[in-house]
Amino acid sequence: MVLFTFIRGVFKEALAKKILLTIIGFFSLLIILLVVGITNSYVEGMQAMLEAGGQNTLSQAVNSLLSGMTSKIPMFMLITLMIILTSSFIPDMLKKGHIDLLLSKPISRTKIIVGHFLAGIIIVLLSFILLLGIIWLIISMKTGYWNFEFLKVILIFTLIYAVLYSSVIFFGLVTRSTILSIIINLFNLFKIKIS
């Protein structure tokens, strides 16, 4: 009940601060570009190119396309965007006058943190489902090849985000600064990217 209240509260915050709108708008733009970009002739051309290179199946072509879209650089950009958009939840919660009210309620400190952590993860999971799910759907419909394995990427990206978000929360609690928390975590993410 309490966790649900926090999750609902963070969703309202994301709506009010237009975080959800930004996510949906940006992802819609990417999806539109994909729809416009991946024409039937593009798919045929890609298949012909792969055949010339010795890869002669449609499934390989689709897998190459999908893995290219979810390789390190797009992943880095996507998770960076999500970290930036969601990193203010914890420092905002910690602002004087608000945290005092939360701590005066019959809730443990752990629940307060876990509630906000889960809310951030749910927002990002839904965003990734929206973006990567629709990308997968479009490519699958265009090519006729349904690679369900690709959907695991949604969970992997969410997991990477969760690890980094826990770090955002930690540094947010220690520094009480959104900017510093973002910088530290982008540095961490950069280390993951280059490793």
Partner 1 sequence: MNVIEINSVTKHFSQGRFSKDKIKALENVSFNVGQGEIFGLLGPNGAGKTTLVKILIGITFATKGNARIFDKNVTDTHIKKRIGYLPENHRYPYYYTGEQVIDYFGRLSGLKKNDLDKLTYKYLKITGIDQWGTTKIKKYSKGMMQRLGLAQAMINNPDLIFLDEPTDGVDPIGRKEIRDVLLDLKSQGKTIFLNSHLLSEVELICDRVAILNKGNLLKVGSVDDITTTENIYVFITSDLNDEISSKILNEHKSTLTGKNEFRCTANTIEELNSVIDVLRKSGVLIHSVSKEKNSLEDMFINLIEQKN
Least CB distance from residue 120 to partner 1, whole Å? 16
Tell whether residue 21 is a contact of partner 1 (CB under 8 A).
no
- Sign of the C-alpha dihedral, residues 95, 100, 103, 109? positive
Q: If we measure between CA atoms, which residue out of 40, 135, 23, 39 comes closest to residue 79? A: 23
Q: Which is nearer to partner 1, 135 or 184 (CB)?
A: 184
Q: Which is nearer to partner 1, 57 or 108 (CB)?
A: 108
Query: Which tokens go with 170?
Result: 């930690």
H helical segments located in 53-194: 58-69, 72-86, 89-93, 99-103, 109-143, 152-175, 178-194
Tell whether residue 16 is a contact of partner 1 (CB under 8 A).
yes
- Span from 96-104, 116-124, 143-151, 160-168 in contact with partner 1 (CB under 8 A): 96-104
Least CB distance from residue 129 to partner 1, whole Å? 25
Least CB distance from residue 83 to partner 1, whole Å? 22
Question: Which residues from 144-183 bind partner 1, rule CB under 8 A?
Answer: none
Among 42, 67, 108, 151, binds partner 1 (CB under 8 A): 108
Tell whether residue 103 is a contact of partner 1 (CB under 8 A).
yes
Query: What letter represents residue 45's amino acid?
Result: G
Query: Would you say 79 and 161 are in contact if contact means Cβ atoms under 8 Å apart?
Result: yes
How far apart, in Å, are the Cα atoms of 67 and each of 36, 56, 81?
19, 17, 20
- Binding residues vs partner 1 (CB under 8 A): 1-2, 5, 9, 12-13, 15-17, 95-98, 100-108
